[in-house]
Amino acid sequence: MPQPRYRQIAQQIPAAAVLAFAVLAPAAPVQPVAEAAEATTAAPAGATVFEFDRLNRTYQMDDSQVAPVRQGPITIALSSPRNSLILKGHSVALKPLGDGRYQASVGLDLLGSGDLTADLTTDAGTSSRLEDLVVVPRQTVEVDGTVTFRRVPGGWDVTALSLPPAVALDIQSRLAGNLVTLCGQMAVFLGLDCDGLDRSLSHVEVPLPPAGSVFFLPEAELTADEVARLEAYLGEP
C-alpha cells in the first residue's frame, strides 16, 4: 500500500517542525547553515524543549501553495513554483497531556526567496497571470498543536491530532506593489479595498495539513545524543 502523501513528503523536510511542515514541504535538503540561530518560542510551563542541529540548513521546495486572496470581484491565487528556505534555527517544546498525547509548540527561524506566480480571475470570467521574484524576510514562525509519537523502524511516526488551519508568512515582492497599483486604478469603478489587498499580499496564509496527518521523523536526521534524549523523554527502552 502506498504511503500517505504527507508521510512521503515529511521524509524530505525539517523534521523538527513536524507540526507545521506544510510550510516547508515538499522540500529537499541542500546544505547546512554555517551559523545556526536559536528560534525562540514561548514554551508552556512544564514543557521540555528539543533542538535538532542537523535540520538547520537550506531546503529547496517546489509548488508551494498559498491561500487565495479575494478582493471584491477579483480572486488572486498565489503560488511559488520554485523557491528555497533557510532554516536558521528551531525549537520544539513538548508537554505531556496523558494517554500518549503531547502539546507541542514549534518555533522556526527562517528566511528565503523564490519565484511568485499570481493568477487573477474575475467574476466576469476574465483571467491573467503575473510572475515575479519573492523574498521571505527573516522571521520566526510559531505553531501549536497536539501530537502522538510511535516508534517505527528508522524513526518515529508523529501524528498531528490538532493543527491550526494555516500559518502566516511575511513576504516581499514587486508583484504585490504592481497589483496594489492596478487595484488603485480599478477601485473607483469596483469599490475595492486596496489597503486590504496590500496587507493580504504581504502577509500570506500557508495552509497546513489536516488533523490526523502522519509525519515521519527520521532517526538519521538526529545525532546519537538527540536520539537518546528523545527516547528517554518518550519513555522508550
Residue 188 corresponds to which cell in the numbers above?
A: 473607483
Say if residue 9's pLDDT is above 60: no
φ/ψ of 39, rounded to 5, equals -95, 120
Q: Rounded mean pLDDT of the chain?
A: 75
Rounded Cα distance between 40 and 19, Å, is 16
The predicted pLDDT at position 26 comes to: 35
Rounded Cα distance between 82 and 197, Å, is 24
pTM of the model: 0.69
Quick one: what percent of the chain has pLDDT higher than 70?
Answer: 66
Rounded Cα distance between 60 and 162, Å, is 27
Where is 87: in which H helix or E strand? strand 74-98
The predicted pLDDT at position 13 comes to: 32
For residue 53, the number of C-alpha atoms closer than 13 Å in the C-beta half-sphere is: 7
Weakest mean pLDDT among 43-57, 69-83, 111-125? 69-83
Once rounded to an integer, what is the mean pLDDT over residues 178-202?
Answer: 60
Per-residue 3-state assignment (H helix, E strand, C coil) for 210-224: CCCCEEEEEHHHCCH
- 44-76 pLDDT tens trace: 788 999 999 988 988 876 666 666 777 677 787
Nearest Cα to 232, choosing from 109, 76, 50? Answer: 50
